[in-house]
Structure formats: C-alpha cells, structure tokens
Amino acid sequence: MRTVIVDYESGNLHSAEKAFQRMAREGDAGEVIVTSDPDTVRGADRIVLPGDGAFAACRAQLFDHRGLFEAMREAVIDKARPFMGICIGMQMLATRGLEHGETEGFDWIGGTVGPIRPEDASLKVPHMGWNDLILDQPHPVFDGIETGQHAYFVHSYQFHVNDPAHLLAHADYGESVTAVVGRDNLIGAQFHPEKSQATGLAMIANFLRWTP
C-alpha cells in the first residue's frame, strides 16, 4: 500500500509528510512518499494534493510539471483511488476559482472558490487560526471526530459547492465557511489536518484506511 503526496513545489510539504508517515506507521497503512514523478502518482493506492498560496498560481505550478495532473486524473478519476486535497489542493477540485481573476479548476466537485466575506467587520481576512468544525454529513473520514473539535485554518477564499450533498463540514466565521467537501472517492479539507493536532491526525488516519 502506497500513499503519495504530490510535490509540485507549492508550499512546504515537510509537516504533511511527517503527519501522514506517522499515522501510516501507527495504523500499519503502508508507506507514504512525496513525489513529483507522474508514473509514481499513476501507480499510487492513495493520493494527497496539498497547496499553499493563491489558486491560480498553484494551478499553474501543478500544470507546469508536465504529465503530473494527467497521472493524478488517471489514478483518481479513472481508477477511483482515494484522494485528499488540502487547502488550495482542496480548492482546485472546484469548477473555477475567482482569486486574482477567474481560473479553471479540475471540476471534480462542482462549485466556485470565492472570497470570504464575514458580516462582522471585526473578523479579519484571511481566516487564520483555530476554529470549531461543524459536521454536516456523516463520512468515514470523520470516524471518532465530533462537531466542536478544532481545526487550523489559513485562507482568504472558500469553496462554494453547487450540490449541498458535497458539503461535509463547515466552520462559522461571520458566515458559513466550507471546511470539508467530498463525493465518491474524493475528500478535501480547507484546513490543514497536519497542523490540527488530534483532530487532524484522526482524519489522516481515517483517510489512510478509507475504502470508498
């Protein structure tokens, strides 16, 4: 069993690598490697796509690595391997992003990534720090996790899903802010599970044994 964390030079992958490797060891869930090799991604049993920064820049960076997106699509869409997107890696699942203009997303989960607009002017953007998760749909990746547990967010834009069934969890930040999306073999977290202590580690462990 091999889980790959896709390296397309978008952000520091060290904390994600260590968190996934730790939970793989504890759960006897095989190996976790970081790679930018399309053939390795194509053959993976599970795929994790992280991302830090702006939607358009991350997408451009991913597609600059020739063959990497195509390999990921083959594994995730054609072969239905379990997939987790983190932060911008989750946002790129959308149909489009509106950060610094309009940018095409993967369109794996229908929706639009738009700016956070809290009604309370005292709430600053970016939404940064700890917030309570509010679970909207049951999901195997939430096993042992309850509404009210904390997760660590850093973002200025959020994923507005077209189908409410694809919204799995949200947070309250002057408005409902999407926290987790998913369908079929896809799951995406706006927060950083690798930085979310017990809640995030539980979610990672659940993902590593999830069999959609």
Is 99 tagged catalytic? Answer: no
Q: What is the pTM of this model?
A: 0.95
Characterize the bridge pairing of strands 176-183 and 157-161.
Answer: unpaired
Burial 174-202 (b: 16+ CB within 10 A, else e): beebbbbbbbebbbbbbbbbbbbeebbbb
d(CA 98, CA 196): 27
Q: Give per-residue pLDDT as tens, 140-193.
A: 999 999 999 999 999 899 999 999 999 999 999 888 999 999 999 999 999 999
Tell which phi-psi region holds residue 100, choosing left (phi > 0), alpha (psi between -120 and 50) or beta.
left
d(CA 33, CA 166): 28
Residue 12 has pLDDT above 90, yes or no: no
Task: Say what the pLDDT of residue 77 is.
Answer: 97
Task: Say what the pLDDT of residue 122 is.
Answer: 82
Express the helix, strand and coil content of the chain in percent, nearest 5 each: 30, 30, 40
Q: Give per-residue pLDDT as tens, 90-122.
A: 999 999 999 888 999 999 999 999 999 888 878
Is 58 tagged catalytic? Answer: no
Catalytic residue among 58, 65, 87, 166: 87
Phi, psi (rounded to 5 degrees) for 160: -95, 105
Output the six-digit token pair for 95.
Answer: 């149909």
Is 192 tagged catalytic? Answer: yes
Q: Give per-residue pLDDT as tens, 16-68.
A: 999 999 999 999 999 999 999 999 999 999 999 998 888 899 999 999 988 99
